[in-house]
Protein backbone atom coordinates (compact mmCIF):
# COMPACT_ATOMS: atom_id res chain seq x y z
CA UNK A 1 0.00 0.00 0.00
CA UNK A 2 2.16 2.82 -1.28
CA UNK A 3 1.78 6.20 0.32
CA UNK A 4 3.55 9.43 -0.48
CA UNK A 5 3.44 12.62 1.56
CA UNK A 6 5.17 15.93 0.90
CA UNK A 7 5.10 19.34 2.63
CA UNK A 8 6.70 21.85 0.31
CA UNK A 9 7.26 25.55 0.92
CA UNK A 10 6.69 27.67 -2.19
CA UNK A 11 6.92 31.41 -2.74
CA UNK A 12 3.40 31.77 -4.12
CA UNK A 13 0.23 32.53 -2.19
CA UNK A 14 -2.04 29.70 -0.98
CA UNK A 15 -4.82 31.07 -3.22
CA UNK A 16 -2.61 31.02 -6.32
CA UNK A 17 -1.36 27.50 -5.60
CA UNK A 18 -4.92 26.30 -4.97
CA UNK A 19 -6.03 27.80 -8.30
CA UNK A 20 -3.12 26.18 -10.12
CA UNK A 21 -3.79 22.69 -8.72
CA UNK A 22 -7.56 23.12 -9.22
CA UNK A 23 -7.03 23.78 -12.95
CA UNK A 24 -6.90 20.05 -13.69
CA UNK A 25 -7.46 20.39 -17.45
CA UNK A 26 -3.96 21.89 -17.76
CA UNK A 27 -2.17 18.93 -16.13
CA UNK A 28 -1.14 17.28 -19.44
CA UNK A 29 0.84 20.45 -20.26
CA UNK A 30 3.28 20.06 -17.37
CA UNK A 31 2.65 17.07 -15.09
CA UNK A 32 4.95 14.03 -15.42
CA UNK A 33 3.20 10.89 -16.75
CA UNK A 34 -0.11 12.73 -17.35
CA UNK A 35 -0.96 12.21 -21.00
CA UNK A 36 -4.59 13.32 -20.94
CA UNK A 37 -7.18 14.67 -18.56
CA UNK A 38 -10.83 15.33 -19.28
CA UNK A 39 -13.56 16.56 -16.98
CA UNK A 40 -16.78 14.54 -17.37
CA UNK A 41 -18.87 16.76 -15.13
CA UNK A 42 -18.62 19.89 -13.02
CA UNK A 43 -21.12 20.89 -10.31
CA UNK A 44 -21.01 24.03 -8.17
CA UNK A 45 -22.64 24.11 -4.75
CA UNK A 46 -22.14 26.11 -1.55
CA UNK A 47 -18.93 27.67 -2.86
CA UNK A 48 -17.41 24.28 -3.69
CA UNK A 49 -16.89 22.57 -7.03
CA UNK A 50 -17.24 18.83 -7.59
CA UNK A 51 -15.54 17.42 -10.68
CA UNK A 52 -15.59 13.94 -12.15
CA UNK A 53 -12.40 13.58 -14.19
CA UNK A 54 -10.63 10.94 -16.27
CA UNK A 55 -6.84 10.98 -16.20
CA UNK A 56 -4.64 8.93 -18.50
CA UNK A 57 -1.13 8.23 -17.29
CA UNK A 58 1.55 6.56 -19.33
CA UNK A 59 5.00 5.17 -18.94
CA UNK A 60 6.76 3.54 -21.89
CA UNK A 61 4.24 1.09 -23.40
CA UNK A 62 1.84 1.16 -20.45
CA UNK A 63 -1.24 3.42 -20.50
CA UNK A 64 -3.89 3.47 -17.79
CA UNK A 65 -6.96 5.67 -17.42
CA UNK A 66 -8.71 6.17 -14.12
CA UNK A 67 -11.66 8.22 -12.93
CA UNK A 68 -11.72 10.36 -9.81
CA UNK A 69 -14.04 12.68 -7.97
CA UNK A 70 -12.33 15.97 -7.20
CA UNK A 71 -13.78 18.29 -4.56
CA UNK A 72 -12.44 21.85 -4.77
CA UNK A 73 -12.97 23.85 -1.59
CA UNK A 74 -11.49 27.33 -2.14
CA UNK A 75 -12.74 28.73 1.20
CA UNK A 76 -10.61 26.18 3.11
CA UNK A 77 -7.89 25.92 0.41
CA UNK A 78 -8.37 22.15 0.26
CA UNK A 79 -8.66 19.73 -2.66
CA UNK A 80 -9.82 16.17 -1.96
CA UNK A 81 -9.57 13.48 -4.63
CA UNK A 82 -11.46 10.18 -4.34
CA UNK A 83 -11.08 7.21 -6.64
CA UNK A 84 -14.04 6.01 -8.71
CA UNK A 85 -12.74 3.46 -11.23
CA UNK A 86 -9.64 2.24 -13.01
CA UNK A 87 -6.57 0.13 -12.21
CA UNK A 88 -6.48 0.84 -8.47
CA UNK A 89 -7.97 -0.96 -5.49
CA UNK A 90 -8.17 2.50 -3.96
CA UNK A 91 -6.67 5.94 -4.30
CA UNK A 92 -7.01 8.86 -1.90
CA UNK A 93 -5.31 12.18 -2.55
CA UNK A 94 -5.43 15.39 -0.53
CA UNK A 95 -3.98 18.83 -1.13
CA UNK A 96 -3.82 21.54 1.53
CA UNK A 97 -2.44 25.04 1.10
CA UNK A 98 -1.27 26.86 4.25
CA UNK A 99 0.00 30.43 4.45
CA UNK A 100 3.62 30.96 5.42
CA UNK A 101 5.77 34.11 5.65
CA UNK A 102 7.45 33.27 2.32
CA UNK A 103 4.24 32.26 0.48
CA UNK A 104 2.67 28.96 1.43
CA UNK A 105 3.22 25.35 2.38
CA UNK A 106 1.72 22.85 -0.05
CA UNK A 107 0.72 19.64 1.73
CA UNK A 108 0.32 16.72 -0.68
CA UNK A 109 -0.72 13.22 0.37
CA UNK A 110 -1.53 10.27 -1.86
CA UNK A 111 -2.35 6.76 -0.71
CA UNK A 112 -3.08 4.07 -3.30
CA UNK A 113 -2.83 0.44 -4.26
CA UNK A 114 -3.06 -1.16 -7.69
CA UNK A 115 -5.58 -3.99 -8.23
CA UNK A 116 -3.00 -6.02 -10.12
CA UNK A 117 0.20 -7.01 -8.34
CA UNK A 118 1.97 -7.16 -11.69
CA UNK A 119 0.88 -3.65 -12.61
CA UNK A 120 1.81 -2.53 -9.10
CA UNK A 121 5.28 -4.01 -9.52
CA UNK A 122 5.77 -2.41 -12.94
CA UNK A 123 4.19 0.97 -12.21
CA UNK A 124 4.84 1.24 -8.47
CA UNK A 125 8.43 2.43 -8.41
CA UNK A 126 7.80 4.70 -11.38
CA UNK A 127 4.74 6.22 -9.64
CA UNK A 128 6.83 6.85 -6.54
CA UNK A 129 9.41 8.76 -8.60
CA UNK A 130 6.63 10.64 -10.40
CA UNK A 131 5.00 11.77 -7.15
CA UNK A 132 8.35 13.11 -6.03
CA UNK A 133 8.53 15.08 -9.30
CA UNK A 134 4.92 16.36 -8.99
CA UNK A 135 5.78 18.95 -6.35
CA UNK A 136 8.59 20.30 -8.53
CA UNK A 137 6.33 20.31 -11.59
CA UNK A 138 3.60 22.28 -9.82
CA UNK A 139 6.12 24.75 -8.39
CA UNK A 140 7.76 25.24 -11.79
CA UNK A 141 4.32 25.75 -13.34
CA UNK A 142 3.45 28.33 -10.64
CA UNK A 143 6.73 30.16 -11.27
CA UNK A 144 5.90 30.30 -14.97
CA UNK A 145 2.23 31.28 -14.61
CA UNK A 146 2.59 33.78 -11.78
CA UNK A 147 5.86 35.23 -13.07
CA UNK A 148 4.01 35.96 -16.31
CA UNK A 149 1.15 37.55 -14.32
CA UNK A 150 3.60 39.65 -12.28
CA UNK A 151 5.49 40.87 -15.34
CA UNK A 152 2.23 41.66 -17.15
CA UNK A 153 1.06 43.83 -14.25
CA UNK A 154 4.38 45.71 -13.94
Segment 1-17 shows an average pLDDT of 90
**Is residue 150 very low, low, confident or very high in pLDDT (cuts 50, 70, 90)?**
low
Residue 101 has pLDDT above 80, yes or no: yes
pLDDT for position 149: 53
| Domain boundaries of the chain, sorted by first residue | 3-153
- DSSP string covering 24-46, please? GGGHHHHSTTEEEEEEEEEEEET
Write down the CATH superfamily of domain 3-153. START domain (3.30.530.20)
Residue 69 has pLDDT above 70, yes or no: yes
Judging by DSSP bridges, how do beta strands 34-45 and 62-73 pair with one another? unpaired
pTM strictly above 0.95: no
Amino acid sequence: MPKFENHRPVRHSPENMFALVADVEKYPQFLPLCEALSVRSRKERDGKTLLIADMTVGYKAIRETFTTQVLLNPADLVIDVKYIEGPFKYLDNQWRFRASPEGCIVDFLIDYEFKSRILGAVMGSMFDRAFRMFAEAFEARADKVYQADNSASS
